[in-house]
Amino acid sequence: MISTDYVVGSPCWLDLGAPDTAAAADFYGSVFDWDFQPFGEEASGYGVFKVGEKIAGGVGPLTEQGARSAWMIYFNTPDADATTRAVERSGGTVRVAPVDAEGEGRMAQFSDPQGGQFAVWQPGKSQGLDVVNEPGSLSWTELYTTDMPAAKRFYADLFGWHNQDIPLPGGTDTYSLISPSEGGEERMQGGMIEMPPDALGLTGGRPYWHPVFEVTDCDATVAKVAEHGGSLQMGPEDAEGVGRLAVCVDPNGADFVVLTPSED
C-alpha cells in the first residue's frame, strides 16, 4: 500500500493542472470535502487541497501550450537531475527540466517512451503528501499504456520497480501490479494495463497515468461528481478482492478513479 514513509519510486505527490483553479477547487471540494488553500494572495495560482489539516494534493493553472487538464503523479527520487539523465538515456522525454520549488523540494516532469506523462519529486523541506490511504486521499496509481512490456522495462530501469502480472476476469487481459524497489509487495502502489490507442479517447490515443482516491461510499461520490458537472466513464462496479470503484471525469476532462475498498 502507498505510505507517507516514501521510498525511491513511490508516489509521493500529485497535482491537477486546470484551466480555472477556482472552479476546480469548488468541484473537488464538493466531491471529496477538500479545503483549498492558495499559495500567496491569488486564488487563481497554485494551491493545495487539504483533508482536515493534511495536504492531499495540489492544483494549479495549465502551463503547457495545448495541454489537457489532467492529474500529474510524482514519484520519489533522491536526485531529480540524475533521474532526468536516466529518462533521456531510456528514450523518454523531458517536458520540464529539474527546478527548485522554493526550498520545498526539486521537481521535473517527463513523458515515457510511449507518451505517458509523469513527474518526480526530490524532497527538500517537504517529503510530499501528508495523507494517503484514507477517505479523500490517494490510495493507488494506474497507467494505461499501449505497450506494457516496454513500459515495464522503462520504469524498472528508472525506479527499480517490481511487477507482478495477474489475469483480469475473463482471462483475456493482464494487469501488472507495481511495487517499489524497497519494501516488497506490502508496499504495492499501483498497476498498469495495456490498451489499444483507440481505447484512450481522453488523450487521443496517448498512454496516461491517473490517480485512485479512496472514498467511504463509491456510489454517493459518483452522484456528487454528476451533480457538480462531472461525468462517469466506467462503473460503479465491484472488483473482487479490491472493492467498489468508478472511473470519473471532472468538468474539464481530467480523469480519476474513486474506490471504496473491500473489507476483506
Are residues 97 and 29 in contact, defined by beta-carbon separation less than 8 angstroms?
no
72/156 same-domain check: no
pLDDT per position as a tens digit, 203-231:
999 999 999 999 999 999 999 999 999 99
Given 123, 155, 187, the domain boundary residue is 123
Question: For 134-141, what is the mean pLDDT?
Answer: 97
Residue 26 pLDDT more than 90? Answer: yes
Write down the pLDDT at residue 42. Answer: 52
51 and 106 belong to one structural domain = yes
Q: Give yes or no: residues 141 and 250 share one domain.
A: yes
User: Which of 74-83, 171-180, 193-202 has the lowest average pLDDT?
Assistant: 171-180
Same domain, 188 and 92: no
Q: Do 93 and 180 share a domain, yes or no?
A: no
Domain end position, chosen among 93, 123, 153 = 123
Average pLDDT for 232-257: 94
Number of domains in the chain: 2
Looking at the structure, tell me whether residues 149 and 238 fall in a common domain: yes
* Domain assignment of residue 41, given as a range: 11-123
Q: Is residue 235 part of a domain?
A: yes
Cell, residue 50: 487539504
The 10 Å CB-count burial string (b at 16+, else e) for 212-224 is bbbbeebeebbeb
DSSP sequence for the chain: ---SS--TTSEEEEEEEES-HHHHHHHHHHHH-PEEEESSS-TTS-EEEEETTEEEEEEEE--STTPPPEEEEEEE-S-HHHHHHHHHHTT-EEEEEEEE-TTSEEEEEEE-TTS-EEEEEEESS--S-S--SSTTEEEEEEEEES-HHHHHHHHHHHH--EEEEEEPTTSS-EEEEEE-SSS-GGG--EEEEE--GGG-GGGTS--EEEEEEE-S-HHHHHHHHHHTT-EEEEEEEEETTTEEEEEEE-TTS-EEEEEEE---
Q: In the predicted model, what is the mean pLDDT of residues 80-100?
A: 97
pLDDT at 9: 96
Is 49 a domain residue?
A: yes
For residue 79, the domain's CATH number is: 3.10.180.10
Say if residue 240 is in the same domain as residue 203.
yes
Is 185 inside any structural domain?
Answer: yes
212 and 147 housed in the same domain: yes
- What's the average model confidence in pLDDT over 136-150? 97
Let me know if residue 1 belongs to a domain. Answer: no
Residue 5, in any domain of the structure: no
- What is the tens place of the pLDDT at every residue in 29-72? 999 999 999 876 554 488 999 999 999 999 999 877 777 899 99
**Residue appearing with cell numbers 494506474:** 142
| Residue 178 shares a structural domain with residue 236 | yes
> Both 38 and 151 in a single domain?
no
Same structural domain, 156 and 222: yes
Q: Which of 101, 123, 145 represents a domain boundary (last residue)?
A: 123
Does 189 score more than 70 pLDDT? yes
Residue 102's pLDDT is what? 84
